[in-house]
């Protein structure tokens, strides 16, 4: 009988040891699963943080787009008025208007506005809007911009108004 008790004790200890090993394996699996979830969640949060930071920077860059678009017709009016005023007898008005025009233009340029170069450039649908085609005055002016009807502008590298142009054919 003493041996039976010893065998049972050994078997009980073996069973307890197996249960412990199973529990350890379960804990390791659970740990690995939770660690994987944590790493995925951390990566998603990091990507979210980077994306929102980039969106915020982009929003700041283009926040004034509507205001600048509203000011472009005024800039156009100045550019049409200045050549007619230049020939006037009273130069003081011309100089005053020229100062205001330059100040407005400089301020818009500081905010990221830049004029799209057009005359003599290769026609580019990403920056130009062709209003019409006319026969090119020379062979080298084919498919190039001959005249600008309305200037185009970019704001921080993004086209906000396409240059309306006449293209040589």
Q: Is the pLDDT of residue 110 over 70?
A: yes
Could you tell me the pTM of the whole model?
0.64
Q: Please, which residues bridge with residue 155 across strands? A: 113, 158
Residue 49's pLDDT band, with cuts at 50, 70 and 90, is very high
For the record, the structure tokens of 8 come out as: 């049972």
Mean pLDDT of 40-56: 93
Cβ–Cβ under 8 Å, residues 155 and 65: yes
Where are the strands (E) in 49-169, listed by range?
113-115, 128-134, 145-150, 153-155, 158-161, 163-168
For the record, the structure tokens of 58 come out as: 């982009």
């Amino acid at each position: 009988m003493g041996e039976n008790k010893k065998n049972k004790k050994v078997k009980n200890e073996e069973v307890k040891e197996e249960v412990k090993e199973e529990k350890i394996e379960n804990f390791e699996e659970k740990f690995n699963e939770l660690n994987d979830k944590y790493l995925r969640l951390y990566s998603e949060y990091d990507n979210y943080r980077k994306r929102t930071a980039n969106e915020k920077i982009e929003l700041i860059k283009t926040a004034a787009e509507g205001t600048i678009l509203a000011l472009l017709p005024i800039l156009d009016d100045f550019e049409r008025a200045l050549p007619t005023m230049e020939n006037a007898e009273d130069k003081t008005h011309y100089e005053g208007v020229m100062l205001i025009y330059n100040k407005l233009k400089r301020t818009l340029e500081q905010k990221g506005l830049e004029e799209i170069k057009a005359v003599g450039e290769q026609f580019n649908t990403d920056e130009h809007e062709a209003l019409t085609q006319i026969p090119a005055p020379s062979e080298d002016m084919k498919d190039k911009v001959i005249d600008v009807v309305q200037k185009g502008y970019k704001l921080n590298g993004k086209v906000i108004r396409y240059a309306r142009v006449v293209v040589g054919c």
